[in-house]
Amino acid sequence: MDMMLHVLAPELLLLATSMALLVGDTFWAKRYPALTFQLALVSLLMIVGVILASFSTESVQAFNGAFIRDGVADILKVSMLLMTIFAFVFAREYLVVRGIERGEYYVMGMISLLGMMVLASAYDMLSLFMGLEVMSLALYAMIGMHKDSSVAIESAMKYFVLGAMATGLLLYGMSLIYGVVGSLRLDLIYQAVSIAEPSLVLNMGLVFIIVGLAFKFGIAPFHMWVPDVYHGSPTGITLFLAAAPKVAAFALMFRLLIEGLESSVVEWQGLLIILAVLSLLVGNIVAIAQTNLKRMLAYSTISHMGFVVLGFVTGNIDGYAAAMFYVIIYGLMSVGAFGVILALSRKGFEADNIADLAGLGRRNPVMALVMLVLLLSMAGVPPLVGFYAKLVILTNLVEVGMVSLAVFAVVMSIIGAFYYLRVIKAMYFDAPVAECVDAGFATLSLRYGLMTVAALVLVLGILPNGLLTLFAQVMTY
C-alpha cells in the first residue's frame, strides 16, 4: 500500500501553513501585526474549502491503515475548523487590548487544531495518541501565554498536570489492549475483540481507556479541572478551549470505543451510564451556585458532555449520530456564549460575572438577544437547535428502552434551565449597574459573528433536518 498522501491533504496543508506562519510572524510581526491573523483565517477557510470540495461518505485509508478519511472525520473536521475560525475572530480584539495578542496564539491554535484533525481521522492507536498529544500540548501553551496573569499560569499548570495524568491512563489502557490483541490498528482490534474470550486484562484496559477519555471530555467524576481551567484562562482562550477540543474528545471516544471496542459494549455501557448520570448531576446542580459566568458555563459544559455520553450509551449507530450532532451543536453554542462575554469585556473589565450582565437588555439589545437565544438553546427550549440536540439523544435512549435514563436526563435539564434563566434574568430584569456602561470593544466582525451564530442556532432549530440526515448517513456508512 502506498502512502496515499492526498488523503491527508487538509492536515498537510494546515501543517504547512502553520509552520510558515510561525516563521513568517517573526519577520512581519512588528510591521504588520494583523497579518498573521488574516493569513491564519485565509488558510483555515481554504482548508474548509478543500475538505468540502472533496467530501465523500466513502472511507479511504492511508499509511497502512493508520489514518482514515471518512464522512464522520470530514464532518468533525469541518466543524472544528469553523469553530476555530469563530474563536480566532472573536478573540482577537480581546487579546489585542490586553497586550497578549501574538502570532503564536494563532499558530498554537492551528497546531492544536492539527492535532484534533489527526484525532478525527486516526485509525490506529498510535496516530490517535499522536493527535491527542499534539492537540493537548498546544492547548497547555495557549493557556499559559498570558504569562503576567498568575491565574492563567495556575490553570495552565493544572490543565497540564491533570491532562498528563489522563494521557498516562489512556496510554496504559491502550498498552493493555495491545497486550491482548497484538495490534494497534482499530479495525484489527475490533476483529480480535469480537472473537476474544472476555478477559480481565481486556476489561482493565477498557477501564483505563474510559477514565482517560472521561478526563479529556471533562465528565464527572473526572471534571475537577474544567471549572478552574475555564475560569482561569483568558476568555479569548477559554472560547477556543470550550468548543473544538470537545469535538475532538468526541472523535477520540468514537474511534476508540466504537471503531475499536464496540464488541465490548456490554462492558463499557454500564461505565458510561455512571459517568453520564454523575455529569448531569454535578454539572447541573453545582452550576446553580456559581456567580461567575465562565464557571457556570464550565459546569454547564460538564452536563452537556453528560448528554453526549448518553448518546454513546445507546450502543447503536443512531445514538452515535445523535451524540455527534449534540457535540457539534454544543460547540457552536459555546463559542457564541463565550463570544458574548468577550464582546462585553474591555480593558480591565472581564464582564465574566453574572452581575456584569445586569440590564444588558437595555444597554445593548442585540447582544442580549444573542445571549438569550444561546442560553435558551443550551437549556433545550424549542424552537432552538439545542432542543433537537437533546431530542435526538432522548429519542434514541427511549428507543433502546432506557426510559428511566431519559426521564432522569429531562429532570436534570429542568434544573439546568434554572441557572440559564438566572443569566437571562440579569440581562432583562435587573437594572443596569453604573460601571458597566456600554458593550466593551465589540468590533463589527465580533458583532456580526455573534449574530451569525445566533441566527444559525435559530435557523437550524427550525430546519434541523439537513444536518440530522447527513449525520445519520455518514454514521451508517
Partner 1 sequence: MTSFPLLSALIWLPILSGVLVLMMKNQPTMAKQFSLWSSIGVFVLSLGLYTGFDATTAQMQFVEQASWIPAFNIQYFLGIDGLSMPLIILTTFTTVLAVWSAFECIEDRVEQYMAAFLMMNGIMVAVFSALDAILFYVFWEALLIPMFLVIGQWGGPKRVYATIKFFLYTFFGSVFMLVAFLYMYSQIGSFSLLDFQAMPLSFVAQFWIFLAFLIAFAVKIPMFPVHTWLPDAHVEAPTAGSVVLAAIMLKMGGYGFVRFSLPMTPDAANYLDWLVISLSLIAIVYIAFVALAQTDMKKLIAYSSIAHMGFVTLGMFLLYGILANTGETQGAILGLEGAMIQMISHGLISAAMFLGIGVMYDRLHTREISAYGGVVNTMPVFAVFMLIFAMANAGLPGTSGFVGEFMVILAAFKANFWIALAAATTLIFGAAYTLWMIKRVIFGDVSNHHVAEMKDLSRREFMIMLILAIGIIGLGFYPAPVMDVMHTSVEHLVQQAMTSKLP
Residue number with CB closer to partner 1 (167 or 413): 413
- Residue 60: phi, psi to the nearest 5? -125, 140
Is the Cβ of residue 182 or residue 401 nearer to partner 1 in the bound state? 401
Q: Which of 56, 175, 199, 469 binds partner 1 (CB under 8 A)?
A: 469
Q: Does 472 bind partner 1 (CB under 8 A)?
A: yes
CA distance 419 to 401: 30
Closest distance to partner 1 from the beta carbon of 451 (Å): 15
Q: How far apart are CA 59 and CA 235, in angstroms?
A: 38
CB closer to partner 1 out of 246 and 390: 390
Nearer to partner 1, 158 or 422 (CB): 422
Residue of 398, 433, 451, 456 interacting with partner 1 (CB under 8 A)? 398
Rounded Cα–Cα distance for residues 454 and 385 (Å): 10
- According to CB under 8 A, which residues from 308 to 367 bind partner 1? 361
At 233 the three-state DSSP class reads coil
Asked if 464 interacts with partner 1 (CB under 8 A), we say yes
Stretch that binds partner 1, among 20-28, 174-182, 422-430, 432-440 (CB under 8 A): 422-430
The yes or no reply on residue 19 touching partner 1 (CB under 8 A) is: no
Residue 456 as a binder of partner 1 (CB under 8 A): the answer is no
Q: Identify the DSSP state of 355.
A: G
Spatial CA neighbour of 206 closest among 189, 219, 191: 189
CA gyration radius for the chain?
21
CA distances in angstroms from 423 to 62, 91, 455, listed in the order given: 48, 22, 20
Report in angstroms how near the CB of residue 464 gets to partner 1 at its nearest. Answer: 6
CA-to-CA dists, residue 270 to 212, 302, 401, angstroms:
16, 19, 15
d(CA 351, CA 343): 9
Q: Is the peptide bond before 221 cis (omega within 30 degrees of 0)?
A: yes
For cell 491527542, what's the residue?
132
Does residue 425 interact with partner 1 by CB under 8 A?
yes
Point out which residues pair with 346 in neighbouring strands.
Answer: 349
Q: How far apart are CA 453 and CA 462, in angstroms?
A: 14
Cβ nearer to partner 1, comparing 132 with 417: 417
Q: Is 377 in the site for partner 1 (CB under 8 A)?
A: no
| 187 contributes a contact to partner 1 by CB under 8 A | no
Residue 154 sits in the site that holds partner 1 (CB under 8 A) = no
Site size for partner 1, by CB under 8 A?
33
Please identify, using beta-carbon distances, which residue of 196 and 381 lies nearer to partner 1. Answer: 381
**Using rule CB under 8 A, residue 375 touches partner 1:** no
Distance CA 79, CA 246 (A): 11
Q: Which residues contact 299 (CB under 8 A, 6 or more apart)?
A: 226, 227, 282, 283, 284, 286, 287, 290
382 in contact with partner 1 (CB under 8 A): yes
- Tell me the closest approach of the beta carbon of residue 393 to partner 1, in angstroms: 10
- Which of these ranges, 87-95, 155-163, 331-339, 464-472, lies near partner 1 under the rule CB under 8 A? 464-472
CA angle 298, 349, 430 (to 5 degrees): 75
User: Residue 417 interacts with partner 1 (CB under 8 A)?
Assistant: yes
Cβ distance to partner 1 smaller for residue 33 or 382: 382
- Does residue 114 contact residue 15 with C-beta atoms inside 8 Å? yes
Query: Taking CB under 8 A as the rule, does residue 136 contact partner 1?
Result: no
CB 69 within 8 Å of CB 121: yes
CB of 285 to partner 1, least distance (A): 15
Query: Exactly one of 269, 395, 443, 452 binds partner 1 (CB under 8 A); which one?
Result: 395
* Out of 225, 307, 338, 428, the residue judged to bind partner 1 by CB under 8 A: 428
Q: Does 383 bind partner 1 (CB under 8 A)?
A: yes
Which C-beta is closer to partner 1: that of 202 or that of 417?
Answer: 417
Host H or E run for residue 309: helix 293-313
CB of 362 to partner 1, least distance (A): 8
Distance CA 325, CA 386 (A): 10
Residue 36 and residue 24 in contact, taking contact as beta carbons nearer than 8 Å:
yes
**Residues of the shown chain interacting with partner 1 in the complex, contacts defined by CB under 8 A:** 361, 376, 381-383, 387-388, 391-392, 394-395, 398-399, 403, 406-407, 410-411, 413-414, 417-418, 421-422, 424-425, 428-429, 464-465, 468-469, 472
